[in-house]
Amino acid sequence: MTVFVNNNPINLTAVATLHQVLEKQNLHEQRGIAVALNNNVIPKAEWQQKALNDNDKITIIKATQGG
């Protein structure tokens, strides 16, 4: 199965959850991020249960400070 994280393909050997993919990317404990799955924002409380499908598109947005 292949999913896309910020347009970069990630090959998965088994069915995975959104949390597992974020963990693989070392982002599962990152603060200040928003995650969208196929253009729908997924609350952090749902990451562990959100199953992924082939060709899903995950968008990760990091908050930044500016002035």
pLDDT of residue 67: 59
16: how many CB neighbours lie within 10 A of its CB? Answer: 19
pLDDT value at 65 more than 80: no
In a domain, 14, yes or no: yes
Check: CB of residue 28 under 8 Å from CB of residue 22. Answer: yes
In a domain, 34, yes or no: yes
Q: What is the largest CA-CA distance in the chain?
A: 43
Global model pTM greater than 0.85: yes
3-state SS assignment for residue 40: strand
Domain carrying residue 47? 2-62
Q: How many residues does the chain have?
A: 67
In a domain, 56, yes or no: yes
- Overall domain count for the chain: 1
Alpha-carbon distance 60 to 67, whole Å?
Answer: 22
In a domain, 67, yes or no: no
**Two structure tokens written together for 64:** 């930044």
CATH number of the domain that residue 9 is part of: 3.10.20.30
User: Which amino acid would we find at residue 5?
Assistant: V
Q: How confident is the model at residue 6 (pLDDT cuts 50, 70, 90)?
A: very high
